Amino acid sequence: MTINTEMKVRVAKIRQVADKVKRFRFERVDGKPMPVFSGGAHVIVSMRDGKALRRNPYSLMSSPEDTAGYEISVLRVETSRGGSAFLHETLKEGDELTLSQPVNLFPFDHRGKKHIMMAGGIGITPFIAMMDQMEREGRAFELHYAVRTRSHGAYWKDLQQRYGAHRVKVYCDEEKLFIPVQKVLENQPLGTHLYVCGPAGMINGVLGKARELGWPKQNLHSEEFLAPPPGKAFQVKLAKSNRTIDVAPHQSILEALEANGVEAPYLCRGGACGQCETGVVSCDGELEHNDHFLEPDDKASGKKIMICVSRITGSAVTLDL
Amino acid sequence: MLVAGIKSRPVYSGLNIDIHAKRHLFALEGEGALALIDQVKAAGADFLKNADILYVASGSRAEDHDRKLAALGADTFWLAPTIPVLLNRFHVMLGQAHMGTRIYLAGTEGFIGQAQQVAMNHGVDPASLHTEHRGSAARRVQCVHCKGITDSVTTSPYTCTHCGLSLLVRDHYSRRLGAFQGVCIDAEEPGTAPKPEELFP
Q: For residue range B20-51, what is the model confidence (pLDDT) as tens digits? A: 999 999 999 999 999 999 999 998 999 999 99
Same-domain check for residues A239 and A294: yes
Same-domain check for residues B126 and B150: no
Whether omega for the bond prior to residue B157 falls within 30 degrees of 0, making it cis, is: yes
Same-domain check for residues A84 and A25: yes
CA atoms of A98 and A106, how far apart (whole Å): 22
Domain count, chain A: 3
Q: Which domain range does residue A296 map to? A: 234-319
Contacts of A113 in chain B (CB under 8 A): 122-123
Collapsing DSSP to helix, strand or coil, B108 comes out as coil
How high does pLDDT run on average in chain A? 92
Q: Per-residue pLDDT for B136 more than 70?
A: yes
Task: Determine the pLDDT at residue B3.
Answer: 61
Q: Which candidate from A113, A192, A213 shows the least CB-CB separation from B22?
A: A213
ipTM of the complex: 0.88
Domain count, chain B: 2
**C-beta of residue A9 within 8 angstroms of C-beta of residue A100:** no
Same-domain check for residues B150 and B115: no
Q: Which residue type occupies B157?
A: P
Q: Do A214 and B123 touch (CB under 8 A)?
A: no
CA atoms of A168 and A130, how far apart (whole Å): 13
Count CB pairs under 8 A between chains A and B: 59
Task: Determine the pLDDT at residue B4.
Answer: 67
Which segments of chain A have a pLDDT < 70?
Answer: 1-4
CA atoms of B138 and B152, how far apart (whole Å): 5
Q: Would A42 be classed as within a structural domain?
A: yes
Q: Which candidate from B18, B21, B128 shows the least CB-CB separation from A219?
A: B128
Collapsing DSSP to helix, strand or coil, B131 comes out as strand
For position A305, which CATH number holds?
Answer: 3.10.20.30
pTM for the predicted model, two decimal places? 0.88
Same-domain check for residues B106 and B181: no
Contacts of A188 in chain B (CB under 8 A): 98-99
Task: Determine the pLDDT at residue A109.
Answer: 96
Task: Determine the pLDDT at residue B2.
Answer: 57
- Which of A190, A192, A195, A221 is the best substitution to test chain B (most B C-beta atoms within 10 A)? A190
Same-domain check for residues A120 and A33: no
**C-beta of residue B158 within 8 angstroms of C-beta of residue B145:** no
Contacts of A184 in chain B (CB under 8 A): none
DSSP for residue A189: B
Helix B83-96 vs helix B109-120: angle between axes, to the nearest 10 degrees?
30
**Phi-psi map region of B96: left, alpha, beta (phi>0 left; psi -120 to 50 alpha):** alpha
- Which of B19, B99, B121, B176 is the best substitution to test chain A (most A C-beta atoms within 10 A)? B99
